[in-house]
Amino acid sequence: MRWRPTNPSARSKSWPPRSGVPVDQLVKLDADENSLWPGRRRVRRRHRRRQPPHLPRPRPGIALRAAIGRYLDVDPASVVAGAGADDIIDILLRLCMPPAAVTTPPTFGMYGFLARINRTPIVEAPRHPGFGLDVDAVARAVADGANMVFVTSPNNPTGTVTSDEELRALCALDALVVVDEAYAEFAEDSCVPYVASHSNLVVLRTFSKWAGLAGLRVGYGIANPALVERMMAIKQPYNVNVAADVAARAAIEHREEILPTLRALCQERDRMVEELGRFEWLEPVPSQANFVLFRVQGRSAAELAASLRRQGVLVRHYDRPDLRDYIRISAGRPSDTTRLVEAMAAQGAPA
C-alpha cells in the first residue's frame, strides 16, 4: 500500500495526562463538549429501563428521523442519521466519489482524513486572515474540477460563522456544498432552512457537542430526499446503535432543559474572554461556538499549552503551520474558568 492513513484518534496524548494532577481535578477545556447538562442522568435512567439490546431496526431508525424532523422542522425524509457526523461525511464521500473535494483550512480535520481513506484528493482554499471564507478560492477550485465543498459554521477551531451571502455564493457553485453545523446549537443561525430550496446543500449536525453525547456516536445529515435515499441505500444498516438512538431521542425530548445550559456556556465563554482580556499577549478570535481560539503573542503557544497541562488545565494546541501561534479553549463550568485564569496568571509576562 502506497499511502498509510493516520487515524486522528491515534494522535495519542496519554490519558490521563502525565501532569501529576488527579483526573477528577483536571480542568478539561480541550474537547468542546457541554459540561453543564445535568440531564445526562435521564439518559442513563432510560437505558436502564430497556430490554437487553437486540439489533437496531436497520431500515430507517424511523423514530429518530421523525424526532429530528420535529426538532428542526424538516421532513423526516430529508434526514439521514449515522454514527456521528463523521459517519455522514464518510457516506457522502463513498457515495459521490468526487474527483476532488474542497476544504477551507484552518478547519476540522476529519474531512481531510476521510477524503484520504476514500481516495478523494483534497484541494485547500485557505481562509483569509481573520478566518473569513475565501469564496473566490473555493469557486476557483470548483472551476478546476472539484465538486464537493466542506464548510464548517461555526468553524472548528476558529468559532467564526459563514454568512448568508457566502452561503448563497457557495450554493450557486456547481458542487455539493456540505455545511457542517456541529456547533449550530450554540450559534444564532443555521442554514437548515435553505435545504428545501437548494438541492446541492447538505447540512451536518451532531449530538456530540450540545447534548454531550460524543461517546455514543450519533449525528445526522439534512439534505434533499433523493440524495438522502441514496445515502440510506449505502450506509451501514446498523450505524446508529440502540443506546445512541435512545439517548439522542431523550436529548431532543428534554431540549428545553438543555438549551439553557448552552446559553450558560456561551455566557461563560464570554466571561472567559473578558477575564483573559487582562493578558494582553492573548488575543481572542470572536466566536459563536462554545470555544474560543486565542492568538498567543510573544511566547510559544505549544509551550503555553504544555505548561497549562502540567497544571491540570487542558486546552488544545494544533501542530500545523496556520495554527502554530494559537490555542483553542472550550467554555466550561465557572470553576473551570477560574482555574484557567489562575493557571494563565501563573505563566507570568512573556519573555
Ligand X SMILES: *Cc1c(COP(=O)(O)O)cnc(C)c1O
Neighbours of 235 (CB within 10 A): 22
Of the candidate spans 40-48, 170-178, 207-215, 319-327, the one that interacts with ligand X by CB under 6 A turns out to be 207-215
What's the N-to-C CA distance of the chain in angstroms? 47
Query: Considering beta carbons, is residue 107 or 224 the nearer one to ligand X?
Result: 107
Comparing CA positions, the residue from 190, 229, 207, 195 lying closest to residue 91 is: 229
Query: Considering beta carbons, is residue 208 or 261 the nearer one to ligand X?
Result: 208
Query: Considering beta carbons, is residue 202 or 344 the nearer one to ligand X?
Result: 202
Cell numbers standing for residue 205: 449536525
Q: Are 341 and 268 in contact (CB under 8 A)?
A: no
108 touches ligand X (CB under 6 A): yes
Query: Considering beta carbons, is residue 103 or 337 the nearer one to ligand X?
Result: 103
Tell which one of 36, 74, 115, 182 touches ligand X (CB under 6 A).
182
245 touches ligand X (CB under 6 A): no
Rounded CA separation 147/96 (Å): 9
Rounded CA separation 203/78 (Å): 10
- What does the DSSP 8-state code read for residue 150? E
159 touches ligand X (CB under 6 A): no
> Cell match 446543500: residue?
201
156 touches ligand X (CB under 6 A): yes
Q: Determine the size of the site formed for ligand X (CB under 6 A).
A: 13
201 touches ligand X (CB under 6 A): no
**Nearest distance in Å: CB 3, ligand X:** 23
**Nearest distance in Å: CB 35, ligand X:** 15
Q: Is the dihedral of CA 56, 57, 58, 63 positive or negative?
A: negative
**Nearest distance in Å: CB 284, ligand X:** 19
Q: Are 123 and 144 in contact (CB under 8 A)?
A: yes
84 touches ligand X (CB under 6 A): yes
Instruction: List residues near ligand X by CB under 6 A.
Output: 84-86, 108, 152, 156, 180, 182, 206, 208-209, 214, 219
